[in-house]
Structure 1
């Protein structure tokens, strides 16, 4: 008797095993978007305030913080059912004061490697920094990520002094 059913059954069992395995492993000493509290703890350890909340639009976790004189938000992305997220986006946006243009964003982007600026349809100027945390970031790596963000926010302040300064969107 041929076991024609064996191949499909084995394939189904492999799929079921994969589905039961957590997709976002995060060691206890690592910073991972899949464990929002690890991000909060790492921010606080680096000397930043960090308030864990939820996005009103997606229900995903988000963190409110501040650096270099600006309040900013850390959004969680790649989430499944508002958890098991795999990446973070540090973000801040500025309402249009008449000076928010694609040219202004392009001028910033020409000399910045990690932090990007874009103009939304409503002329809000969005500044963001995306970070994957799959597998986790150690504390030193995450502190470096936050330092880059903080330094670039300081650079943003200088940039706005040299160019038309937008109004911070609250």
Structure 2
């Protein structure tokens, strides 16, 4: 990476930045919106990097990292709220039947290349934390449902939307 401030982004430069930190990255096109974006994965969880506000030349000044999981069963909203209350930078949203983790990154006004790299590293860490968090929380929900009254619903399960055959995005 250079020492020049980044004032705009392009998919090619984003792909390079992600590959420099070890991600495999592919370009995909949303057939509905006819917009290109990047796809990758970390810790077994697929995610998209979607362009945001476009400039007249086709570049953009912000991106959104988005990971989508499909929820099977009822997921308590308290679990989502607890995540959001104890984490910064990214937000978890339950939009049945999807659980969506998003992180917005802006280069408006100019940022140094290390700033972009730091956001990629923050995203990776948050995804890893989310996987562990959900694993622990769902294990606890499952244990509670097995030891309580038979009327208690079975604990939910999660899978990536891609594994479930769903679109990787929530519109």
State the TM-score, normalized to the length of structure 1: 0.73
Residues 87 and 133 in structure 1, CA contact (< 8 A), matched pair in contact too: yes
Using CA pairs under 8 Å that are at least 6 residues apart, name the structure with larger relative contact order, 1 or 2.
2
For the residues of structure 1 that align with 2:36 and 2:6, how far apart are their CA atoms?
15
The separation in 2 between residues aligned to 1:158 and 1:82, in whole angstroms, is: 41
1:56 is matched with which residue?
A: 31
How far did residue 71 of structure 1 move?
1.6
2:17 corresponds to 1:42: yes
More strand by share: 2
Please identify the structure whose Cα radius of gyration is greater: 1
Q: What's the Cα RMSD here? A: 2.4
Distance 1:31 1:67 in 2: 25
Q: What are structure 1's unaligned runs of at least 5 residues?
A: 1-26
8 A Cα contact 1:31 1:139, kept in partner: yes
Q: For structure 2, which runs of at least 5 residues remain unmatched after alignment?
A: 139-156, 163-171
Q: Does 1:79 align with 2:54?
A: yes
Between the two proteins, the alignment pairs up a number of residues equal to: 143
Among residues 74, 88, 93, which one is paired with 2:68 in the alignment? 93
